[in-house]
């Protein structure tokens, strides 16, 4: 190879390298995350690509990716009864949810995760609905720093999907924010 061919090979190598680096950076920046904001509550959640909002539900927000349902209730703290706490609401939702289910089992004891902006109380149940076993991942998000809201979120899915994606589901719950 002569000198001109060497320079052409080096230039071609750098062009290919730049294209590959640019392509991988583009994919990283285009994560496909979807942000949803409920203005009434200053409540925000980020979801991976593929989640769709459902209309006409009994929830403040309900989403699905076709394999799991994420259902959200948001409450103002000043609307609680005098001696009622967000934890009481968490317990009431769990009782109500499982009153219409069979073979209810608590799979994991309640876990409390302390984050800078919120506390997350999570508990996992298994129950049958219309003869099909589902997992119910119940989460209370109690926001800090003068927040006037809290949220109760349940993720409903088949056991196999939860087992394969429980880390992702935790990450989704952790994205929930109260915007001042």
Q: Which residue ranges make up each domain of the chain?
A: 1-30, 32-178
Beta bridge partners of 154: 71, 138
| Confidence tier at 179 by pLDDT (50, 70, 90) | confident
Per-residue pLDDT band for 5 (boundaries 50, 70, 90) equals low
Question: Where does the pLDDT of residue 10 fall: very low under 50, low under 70, confident under 90, or very high at 90 and above?
Answer: low
pLDDT at 37 over 90: yes
Token couple for 99: 């009153």
Q: What's residue 27's pLDDT?
A: 29
Spatial CA neighbour of 175 closest among 31, 24, 29, 26: 31
Asked if 165 and 172 count as a contact pair (C-beta separation under 8 A), the reply is no
CATH architecture of 32-178: 3-Layer(aba) Sandwich (3.40)
Give the whole-angstrom CA distance, residue 158 versus residue 140: 21
Sign of CA dihedral 125, 119, 86, 149: negative
Q: How confident is the model at residue 26 (pLDDT cuts 50, 70, 90)?
A: very low
- The rounded distance, in Å, linking the Cα atoms of 93 and 96 is 5
pLDDT(16) > 50: no
Those residues with Cβ within 8 angstroms of residue 62's Cβ, 6 or more apart along the chain or in another chain: 53, 54, 69, 70, 71, 72
């Amino acid at each position: 190879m002569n000198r001109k061919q060497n320079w052409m090979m080096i230039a071609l190598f750098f062009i290919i390298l730049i294209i590959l680096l640019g392509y991988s950076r583009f994919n990283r920046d285009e994560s496909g995350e979807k942000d949803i904001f409920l203005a009434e509550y200053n409540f925000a959640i980020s979801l991976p690509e593929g989640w769709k909002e459902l209309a006409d539900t009994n929830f403040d927000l309900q989403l699905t990716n076709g394999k799991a349902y994420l259902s959200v209730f948001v409450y103002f703290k000043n609307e609680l009864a005098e001696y009622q706490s967000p934890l009481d609401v968490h317990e009431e939702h769990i009782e109500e949810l499982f009153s219409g289910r069979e073979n209810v089992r608590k799979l994991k004891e309640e876990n409390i995760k302390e984050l800078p902006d919120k506390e997350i109380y999570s508990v996992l149940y298994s129950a049958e609905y219309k003869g099909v076993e589902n997992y119910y991942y119940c989460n209370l998000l109690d926001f800090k720093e003068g927040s006037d809201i809290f949220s109760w979120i349940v993720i409903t899915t088949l056991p196999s999907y939860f087992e394969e994606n429980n880390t992702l589901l935790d990450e989704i719950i952790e994205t929930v924010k109260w915007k001042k």
